[in-house]
Structure 1
Amino acid sequence: MAGKKVLIVYAHQEPRSFNGSLKKVAVEELSQQGCTVTVSDLYAMNFEPRATRNDIAGALSNPDFFSYGVEVYEACKKQLLTSDIVEEQKKVQDADLVIFQFPLFWFSVPAILKGWMDRVLCQGFAFDLPGFYDSGFLKGKRALLSITTGGEAQKYTAAGGSGDFRYLLWPLQHGTLHFCGFEVLAPQISFAPETASEEERKGMVASWAQRLKTIWKEEPIPCTSPWYFE
């Protein structure tokens, strides 16, 4: 889809990792389609994950009692957020599709990616109260989680030791992405690449590349609790 813009938020320390391969093939495939692809390589950027008062470039609205949410909201309205946050927000604002590429850490995202979500998707930019879920400020944009796991697929079933994988997706897909207004595409899950054979790993990468060929034709998942829990 020539003219489309994609942001890949990538969280892995090693460029030659399996996550790195998935990121690389996504850049190649989407670029071949004529998309403009931007990558935020969080570890390479040394992205600051901590949400602190340093995120506000101007004076605090209440210097006597620091409330991060209140101060960032006011700074966002006054265009006084620090440059690293603003740069990432501009990438999100420009994107038609945001892909998050990361390994599953403790049933969630790596700390550096959680910090990106905490700092970048702030009130005033990604949502307001009211102004969330279907009214979130990022409505009209699409988002997709591309995740690698340590465990094999059978462990992430209702009968498996880790439970149905969809349970794990509720906080990220619904509580974060849908809350901000994103239309959420079905996740891309690559199970246990570290213990897979070389042929199996190549198959996972090829499957991701093949899916990306028709990614713009996909319908978002229904962002309702039955998709996750029934």
Structure 2
Amino acid sequence: MSRSDYEPLVKKKRARFLSWTRKALAFAGRLQLINSVIASLTNFWCSAFILPQGCIDEIESLCSAFLWSGSPNISSKAKVAWVEVCKPKEESGLGVRIIQDISIVFDLKLIWWLFNNLDSLWVMWVKNTILRGESFWDVRAGAVRSWIWKKLLELRPLAQQFLHMEVHSGKSVGFWTDLWHPMGRLIEVIGERGTHKLGIMRNARIADVLVDHQWSFRNTRDRTIEPIIV
């Protein structure tokens, strides 16, 4: 997303601030508007687009200027760093939500959607065009041209903390690559050698390994593998 793409959002926020500037609002009133009207507008955009850092920085700069001076055009009167303003009230902050955190929440929702809406056209397009048969967890960031997807791939370690796939029939869950086992992704737990020791291909689905509700793979006495097959 270029600056021209998100400029309408910045202009809309600046216009809102300027309209409020004429009302000579008190500090508490300005804070309330930032936490309600501006936050709602930001949430809407974050739900529809992945905002680049430049856009986030501009919006927070406008919010800071308006909060401390009453105008989005005067940015030299900040008494406290914006990061302190955004801390919870219990930590002596003002409870303003960090836009970056809001953006991350909606980005994680996109990742969740990728695994929970397999029949959607968007998911099918992503798998065919972006992932090209690879697991979301394994695709290299360097192989993806889109900056949006590079950003989503950077969130994989965080996303793994919240995602857990339900097996059901096992036809859509990767035995090695997906997050279905309590120990995490099995390919990360025991490494690539596990595919050879168990005789299970790396791209195998759980349904390929289950026969009459029983695991079907090569016998092994390897202690590093025993925990995942018990």
Larger radius of gyration: 2
Larger RCO: 1 or 2 (CA < 8 Å, sep 6+)? 1
Instruction: Please identify which structure carries the higher helix content.
Output: 2
**Could you tell me the TM-score, scaled by structure 1's length?**
0.26
Instruction: Please identify which structure carries the higher strand content.
Output: 1
**Could you tell me the TM-score, scaled by structure 2's length?**
0.26
